[in-house]
A and B are shown apart, each in its own frame.
Chain A
Amino acid sequence: MESCNCIEPQWPAEELLMKYQYISDFFIALAYFSIPLELIYFVKKSAVFPYRWVLVQFGAFIVLCGATHLINLWTFGMHSRTVAVVMTTAKVLTAAVSCATALMLVHIIPDLLSVKTRELFLKNKAAELDREMGLIRTQEETGRHVRMLTHEIRSTLDRHTILKTTLVELGRTLALEECALWMPTRTGLELQLSYTLRQQNPVGYTVPIQLPVINQVFSSNRAMKISPNSPVARLRPLSGKYMPGEVVAVRVPLLHLSNFQINDWPELSTRRYALMVLMLPSDSARQWHVHELELVEVVADQVAVALSHAAILEESMRARDLLMEQNVALDHARREAETAVRARNDFLAVMNHEMRTPMHAVIALSSLLQETELTPEQRLMVETILRSSNLLATLINDVLDLSRLEDGSLQLDLGSFDLHAVFREVLNLIKPIASVKKLPVTLNLAPDLPEYAIGDEKRLMQTILNVIGNAVKFSKEGSISITAFVAKSESLRDSRAPDFFPVPSDNHFYLRVQVKDAGQGINPPDIPKLFTKFAHTQTLATKNSRGSGLGLAICKRFVNLMEGHIWIESEGLGKGCMAIFIVKLGIPENTSESKNPFLPKANHGQTTFPGLKVLVLDDNGVSRMVTKELLVHLGCDVTTASSRDECLHVVSQDHKVVCMDVGMPDGFEAAVRLHEKFTKRHERPLIVALTGNTDKVTKENCMRVGMDGVILKPVSVDKMRSVLSELLEHRVLFEAM
């Protein structure tokens, strides 16, 4: 045998074993080649695989192992050196790669394992989050229920609806078997079953409020579980098979209106509570969850608020109803008062005339009688009649004046008058009586007192006379002193007249008059009564308390009209008294003006109207002639007309004034026609009506047909003059009637 280059196996190969090895190697190679393919395939499919390098290594390792086994196939038989070299190379490479892989796997496998733990961890976390999510969802559900409940409760302001709705909604939300509300009774000693969910008509079932379970619930604002056997929870008759569900009770504060009047929230001690009892369905094995209890507490609070709102609303509606009733009553009373005032005014107006007429007759005739021949007895009688009727006339005048004063319809007749003369006159009037009673009267007029003043002379004299008259009347002895002076600003403000604020000005001055007497005096507390109507002071000493009690009241009104103040000071009974009044009077501008008693307007009037074209319309020849002559005397150029047609025929734009007598049948008609003829205002002559009628109807008719003025007949020259000047200046004149 020659030595061949082929390498022979050490021992002789056994055919069968070799065959099996051959097959196995083949399959191993196959598997080894397909595994990387599969790996690549699946990794390509998967989106993320962080270990590509590992894969490559592993792939290489497997491929090389496969290659090794594959090449091994050839080594079973005789094989050449090349095969052996290839085999060796493959083996070497395989060894290298597999060692490398082995080394690498040491790093990788912990990582891979940790992935698994992370996965586990995440799964746990997910489960936990799920649980929490469930919890939150439940809470949110609860919140929703609360909101819905609150909405339902607060959508009504009716107390019963609120409570009923609460129970219904709670029952629905929490799926309760029974829900009940116990309200405290009026006495506050018991709780009465007021509302229930299932039973329609709760029996008036009460429990005393002092039960321990109730106290426990009332002492805290949490919802508490209570025993199903407690009296407040035993609403249904218990049957044996029922295993009652859990019961929870919560307090509902009942807030009163008065609790809201203080700034901070009301104290606990004064609260009253109602009790709300909720029962889960029996035999359901349900338990009260925390969130359900919270829901119940929130609802209880909302109910309290809603109830208080309802209470406030009820209260305000009641107040409003009351106010409306009061309004109606007041309105009625006001109307009645108005009617009464109107009736009184009508009465007074009638009595004015009716009373004065006979009075006038009596006074006139008695004074006439006085002039005739009488026996001394008769004279005395007539004098008494005269005095009494004068007194009566004064009384009537006083009463009528006072009523006019009260209405505010009295106005002062302002005019210029001699102030000193007024005082002298009063003194003259009072001297006789004073001398009979032997009371000396002294008058002191300050040197700076103006001689003339502008004011209501008659009423000022009336006031002074009244005050002095009272002084004389109520004095039996002592003297009476009257002082009058101009009040300076310091003396104007008097502590006894706190709401009198005199405002001195340039053309006014304040006259202060003080009348002091040493007579009976007045009790200081009685002084305010003096100025009230019809009130007499209860002095026993006076037997001759004549007078209606109106005098001072009227004086006060007059003084007030003159923007002044009147008061009386006295130190007490028997100590005399002093009456003081201050009135505002005007200062006349110059002495010449003060001499004539007309209002200062006469200064700026025209005295003649030369060339003024006037048309006189009157159907009475005599009147026409007189009116014409009047106007001619004033310098006018007068045309006359005796009928309406003649007037319209004659009248032209040159005529500035038309005087027409409206007593004639178509006087008013003529005015209307004049308006039609002259449509433009500046072309139309001024139309003045002359009438002897003093009633309002005539005046209104004149105004209605568009007259520019009304004058009362009889017209004097001066009157016509002033009327014309006023008319031409202002284009309108309506004489006060």
Chain B
Amino acid sequence: MDSVVQLQRQLVDYRAQLFNEGFLDEQFNQLQQLQDESNPDFVVEVVTLFFEDSERLLDELAKALEQQSVDYRKIDAHVHQLKGSSSSIGAQRVQKVCIGFRNFCEERNIEGCQKCLQQVKHEYSLVKTKLETLFKLEQKILAAGGSIPLPM
């Protein structure tokens, strides 16, 4: 039992940290609220979908920026998608970078775009790691027989 309580506290602290550092925002809480008995794995499903989607988009973006003649409109569309997805799950930092990315797209600034792409990739991998850690913690709690504390 102690370990469960400890794990729960760890989870809560970790979650709080993610929020404080700006990796996640209120939208993530909303997602957690949607999760209930009828749909117990909702958050995991959504986040997994997000990961798949984002990876695909990032590949597309890399490819598009390597072209001879860069199609900014396509890039903009991809970034828009990424921005939408990240805001839907509350990945705040990714979303912020996407906004900057779009500005560079509008200005047709190739260096800016490339820099943003690197930034997005970086932020994405960060948030992915964090979320995976979070889910592992949740699994551990469930395995130990406890329940996941709801966000406050």
Asked if A and B are interacting partners, one says: yes
A residues with a Cβ closer than 8 A to B are 619-623, 625-627, 629-630, 632-633, 661, 663, 665, 692, 713-717
Select one of B34, B77, B85 contacting A665, CB under 8 A.
B77
Given A620-B81, A623-B84, do A714 and B26 touch, yes or no (CB 8 Å)?
yes
Select one of A622, A692, A716, A717 contacting B46, CB under 8 A.
A622
Residues on the A chain within 8 Å of B77, using CB = 665
Whole-angstrom distance between the Cβ of A724 and the nearest chain B Cβ: 15
* Residue B21 CB within 8 A of the other chain: no
* Residue B19 CB within 8 A of the other chain: no
Given A632-B39, A717-B30, A717-B33, do A626 and B80 touch, yes or no (CB 8 Å)?
no
11 CB contacts below 8 A, A to B, read A621-B53, A622-B53, A622-B85, A622-B89, A625-B46, A627-B88, A630-B30, A692-B83, A713-B87, A715-B30, A717-B33
B46 x A714 contact (CB < 8 A): no
Q: How far is the CA of A317 from the CA of B26 in the complex (A)?
A: 73
Residues on the B chain within 8 Å of A621, using CB = 49, 53, 85
Residues on the A chain within 8 Å of B14, using CB = none
Select one of B46, B83, B90 contacting A629, CB under 8 A.
B46
Q: How far is the CA of A630 from the CA of B90 in the complex (A)?
A: 14
Q: How far is the CA of A525 from the CA of B32 in the complex (A)?
A: 64
Q: Secondary structure at chain B's binding surface: helix, strand, loop or mixed?
A: helix
| Given A621-B85, A717-B30, 7 further pairs, Cβ under 8 A | A619-B81, A623-B84, A626-B46, A626-B89, A692-B84, A714-B30, A717-B34
B84 x A620 contact (CB < 8 A): yes
B residues with a Cβ closer than 8 A to A are 26-27, 30-31, 33-34, 36, 38-39, 42, 45-46, 49-50, 53, 77, 80-81, 83-85, 87-90
Whole-angstrom distance between the Cβ of B114 and the nearest chain A Cβ: 24
Q: How far is the CA of A627 from the CA of B31 in the complex (A)?
A: 10
Select one of B34, B36, B85 contacting A623, CB under 8 A.
B85
A-B CB proximity, top 9 nearest = A622-B85, A623-B88, A620-B84, A626-B88, A629-B34, A714-B27, A622-B50, A622-B88, A633-B34
- The chain B residue sitting closest to A632, CB to CB, is B39
Whole-angstrom distance between the Cβ of B34 and the nearest chain A Cβ: 5
Whole-angstrom distance between the Cβ of B61 and the nearest chain A Cβ: 15
Residues on the B chain within 8 Å of A661, using CB = 84
Whole-angstrom distance between the Cβ of A665 and the nearest chain B Cβ: 7
Whole-angstrom distance between the Cβ of A39 and the nearest chain B Cβ: 141
A663 x B30 contact (CB < 8 A): no
Q: How far is the CA of A704 from the CA of B82 in the complex (A)?
A: 28
Q: How far is the CA of A630 from the CA of B32 in the complex (A)?
A: 11
Q: How far is the CA of A661 from the CA of B27 in the complex (A)?
A: 17
Residues on the B chain within 8 Å of A713, using CB = 84, 87-88
Q: How far is the CA of A731 from the CA of B31 in the complex (A)?
A: 28
- The chain A residue sitting closest to B33, CB to CB, is A717
Residues on the A chain within 8 Å of B36, using CB = 633
